[in-house]
């Protein structure tokens, strides 16, 4: 039986989480997308009908990215998401640009992706399986809608996924399994559990033996940022702030990929705190306290001093 698959990639979410957990995996992800696409096809076929012969076709390959989005690597190199477009297009992806709509860097990627999934659900071609590559719990309702329409769903979650999001999917692939099997690299963290491929990935344990709590980590990060902003005489440099968060809050910042957001900038943008405003670009970006720090023009932001 031939399996027909529609795949939707939340690029910023997946790539940002991979950069936080394993930079070499992030590089393999964008340089050789054909490799992990082949793995997705094999995984869908084996999980949906392990005893049956038949092909699996990725008929829809959609990618949603912020072309001006970027990450500052530990090496000091800045990578822009738009630079990976050609690799994705050559792998058969239809790439949808989702540039920032607000000064805080918020994009429309999530809602555009949901609308496309709903369109695919009503398409004349009946897609058997929907593959969602994102750890964003905002996609929980669309997974529930797909289940109600008797469609199989597979989620690839590189960041820490909420319980409700995981429960809404038929299969959840965690970071270690994806890095090891799809990208062909040594996976980080604990080994995946024994048993069928559809079993859930166990999140890395914290030092006290309990699984990292993304919600608690988000609150801890936001509280730390608020405390620093309250003392800072000028806007805070995001890369330097991220490094301090890793040092002060420990390995769970990395283990939860900034509380499931994928990056510090995405976490601050999603928080919606009117007193924390992102200043994108300019050496990795900045965040200002709107009650204490004056609004800067682009040329003024460009002159902000980088920390030592």
Final residue of a structural domain among 182, 200, 230: 182
In this structure, the answer to whether residues 172 and 220 fall within a common structural domain is: no
Q: What is residue 183's predicted lDDT score, i.e. its pLDDT?
A: 92
In this structure, the answer to whether residues 170 and 288 fall within a common structural domain is: no
In this structure, the answer to whether residues 14 and 85 fall within a common structural domain is: yes
Q: What is residue 29's predicted lDDT score, i.e. its pLDDT?
A: 94
In this structure, the answer to whether residues 256 and 141 fall within a common structural domain is: no
Q: What is the mean pLDDT of the chain?
A: 81
In a domain, 190, yes or no: no
Which has more pLDDT, 120 or 198?
Answer: 120
In a domain, 133, yes or no: yes
Final residue of a structural domain among 135, 165, 182: 182
Tokens linked to 6: 């529609």
Final residue of a structural domain among 182, 205, 226: 182
- Reading phi first (left if > 0) and then psi (alpha if -120 to 50, else beta), residue 194 is in beta
Cα–Cα distance for residue pair 45/38, rounded to 1 Å: 11
In this structure, the answer to whether residues 11 and 148 fall within a common structural domain is: yes
Q: What is residue 306's predicted lDDT score, i.e. its pLDDT?
A: 47
Phi, psi of 24 (to 5 degrees): -65, -30
130: containing domain: 3-182
Residue 209 CB-density burial (10 A; 0-12 exposed, 13-18 middle, 19+ buried): exposed
In a domain, 307, yes or no: no
Cα–Cα distance for residue pair 155/160, rounded to 1 Å: 12
pLDDT of 154 > 90? The answer is: yes
SS (H, E, C) 199-210: CCCCCCCCCCCC
In this structure, the answer to whether residues 146 and 240 fall within a common structural domain is: no
Beta bridge partners of 289: 276
Structure letter (DSSP) for residue 79:
E
Q: What is residue 203's predicted lDDT score, i.e. its pLDDT?
A: 40
Q: Strands 129-133, 3-10: parallel, antiparallel or unpaired by DSSP?
A: parallel
* pLDDT classification of 88: cutoffs 50, 70, 90: very high
Spatial strand order in the sheet of 286-289:
236-237, 286-289, 276-279
* pLDDT classification of 185: cutoffs 50, 70, 90: confident
In a domain, 202, yes or no: no
pLDDT of 252 > 60? The answer is: yes
Q: What is residue 284's predicted lDDT score, i.e. its pLDDT?
A: 63
Q: What is residue 190's predicted lDDT score, i.e. its pLDDT?
A: 36
In a domain, 272, yes or no: yes
Q: What is residue 89's predicted lDDT score, i.e. its pLDDT?
A: 96
In this structure, the answer to whether residues 124 and 76 fall within a common structural domain is: yes
In this structure, the answer to whether residues 100 and 231 fall within a common structural domain is: no
Number of domains in the chain: 2
* pLDDT tens digits for range 188-218: 443 333 333 333 333 444 444 455 577 888 8
What is the three-class DSSP state of 165? helix
Span 159-180, average pLDDT:
90
Q: What is residue 296's predicted lDDT score, i.e. its pLDDT?
A: 62
Tokens linked to 94: 């239809």
In this structure, the answer to whether residues 240 and 129 fall within a common structural domain is: no
pLDDT of 230 > 90? The answer is: no
Count of CB atoms situated within 10 Å of the CB of 162: 17
In this structure, the answer to whether residues 168 and 265 fall within a common structural domain is: no
- CATH code: domain of residue 105: 3.40.50.1010
In a domain, 53, yes or no: yes
In a domain, 194, yes or no: no
Q: What is residue 17's predicted lDDT score, i.e. its pLDDT?
A: 84
Q: Which of 35-44, 49-58, 97-106, 185-194 has the highest mean pLDDT?
A: 35-44
In this structure, the answer to whether residues 260 and 170 fall within a common structural domain is: no
In this structure, the answer to whether residues 20 and 97 fall within a common structural domain is: yes
Tokens linked to 123: 């398409």
pLDDT of 157 > 60? The answer is: yes
Q: What is residue 34's predicted lDDT score, i.e. its pLDDT?
A: 94
pLDDT of 127 > 60? The answer is: yes
Cα–Cα distance for residue pair 219/123, rounded to 1 Å: 41
What is the three-class DSSP state of 80? strand
- Whether the CB-CB separation of 16 and 269 falls below 8 Å is answered with no
Q: What is residue 210's predicted lDDT score, i.e. its pLDDT?
A: 52
Q: What is residue 194's predicted lDDT score, i.e. its pLDDT?
A: 35
In a domain, 129, yes or no: yes
The alpha carbon of 71 is separated from its chain's Cα centroid by a whole number of angstroms, namely 13
């Amino acid at each position: 039986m031939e399996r027909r698959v529609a795949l939707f990639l939340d690029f910023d979410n997946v790539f940002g989480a991979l950069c936080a957990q394993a930079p070499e995996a992030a590089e393999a992800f964008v340089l050789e997308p054909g490799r992990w696409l082949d793995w997705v096809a094999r995984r869908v076929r084996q999980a949906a009908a392990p005893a049956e012969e038949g092909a699996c076709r990725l008929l829809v390959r959609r990618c949603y990215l912020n072309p001006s989005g970027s990450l500052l690597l530990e090496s000091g190199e800045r990578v822009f998401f738009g630079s990976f477009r050609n690799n994705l297009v050559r792998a058969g992806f239809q790439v949808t640009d989702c540039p920032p709509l607000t000064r805080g860097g918020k994009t429309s990627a999530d809602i555009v992706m949901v609308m496309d999934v709903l369109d695919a659900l009503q398409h004349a071609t009946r897609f058997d399986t929907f593959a969602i590559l994102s750890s964003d719990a905002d996609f929980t309702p669309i997974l529930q809608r797909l289940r109600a329409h008797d469609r199989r769903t597979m989620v690839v979650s590189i960041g820490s996924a909420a319980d409700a999001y995981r429960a809404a999917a038929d299969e959840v692939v965690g970071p270690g399994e994806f890095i090891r099997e799809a990208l062909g690299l040594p996976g980080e963290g604990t080994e995946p559990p024994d048993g069928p491929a559809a079993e859930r990935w166990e999140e890395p344990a914290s030092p006290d033996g309990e699984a990292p709590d993304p919600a608690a980590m988000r609150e801890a990060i936001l509280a730390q940022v608020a405390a620093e902003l309250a003392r800072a005489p000028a806007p805070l440099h995001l890369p330097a702030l991220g490094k301090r968060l890793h040092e002060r809050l420990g390995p769970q910042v990395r283990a939860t990929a900034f509380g499931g957001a994928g990056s510090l900038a995405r976490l601050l943008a999603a928080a919606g705190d009117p007193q924390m405003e992102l200043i994108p670009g300019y050496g990795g970006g900045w965040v200002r306290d709107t009650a204490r720090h004056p609004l800067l023009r682009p040329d003024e932001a460009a002159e902000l001093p980088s920390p030592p």
